[in-house]
Structure 1
Amino acid sequence: MKEQLIKAMQYKQLVTIMYISKSGEIAKRRVKILKMEGDKFQAYCFARQAKRTFIINNVLAVLPIIGKEKKII
């Protein structure tokens, strides 16, 4: 998982992450990874419109965002 996060940061790739929150719930966020330090990383979260810190071990999946998502009518 850490390798995927590092690559996303190096290539400035937007990603969708699924992770376990502090409260134990599974959450999904669209983020841009800004920096990594030890077992944590800081990312800009588009849902919260703010910088957030995530624990790498709590990340369940990392999916790259390619292009813009289209709305289905």
Structure 2
Amino acid sequence: MKNMIMRSIQNKEKIEMIYLSEDNQATQRIIRVLKINNEMIIAYCYTRRTIRTFKLENILSIGSVRKRMGA
């Protein structure tokens, strides 16, 4: 997971993330990571269209953005 986060920072790549919010709601987001530390990442969230902070412990999965058919 950390390798993909670091690659997002270095290459300015979008990644897809499943995240567990404070109220235990799982959300799927497309982000571009700007910074990382031991506890959280700061990323531009394309879903919310703003910079957001995400706790590393609440990230359920991270992967490459999948291309949509016809796009």
Which TM class, normalised by the smaller chain length? 0.7 to 0.9
Question: CA offset at residue 70 of structure 1?
Answer: 3.2
Question: CA offset at residue 27 of structure 1?
Answer: 0.6
Question: Any unmatched runs of 5+ in structure 1?
Answer: none
1:20-58 per-residue CA deviation (whole Å, 9 max, x = no partner) reads: 111111110001111112210011011111000001111
Identical counterparts, % of pairs: 27
Letter in 2 for 1:9: I
In structure 1, the residue matched to 2:68 is 69
Instruction: Give me the TM-score of the superposition, normalised by structure 2.
Output: 0.84
Q: Does residue 48 of structure 2 align to residue 48 of structure 1?
A: yes
The two structures, once aligned, show a CA RMSD in angstroms of: 1.9
Secondary structure of 1:13's partner?
coil
In structure 1, the residue matched to 2:27 is 27
C-alpha distance in structure 1 between counterparts of 2:35 and 2:70, whole Å: 31
Q: Does residue 1 of structure 2 align to residue 11 of structure 1?
A: no
Question: Any unmatched runs of 5+ in structure 2?
Answer: none
In structure 2, the residue matched to 1:39 is 39
Runs of 4+ in structure 1 off by over 6 angstroms are none
Bigger shift: residues 16-25 or 5-14: 5-14
Aligned residues: 71
C-alpha distance in structure 2 between counterparts of 1:70 and 1:42, whole Å: 30
Question: CA offset at residue 8 of structure 1?
Answer: 2.0
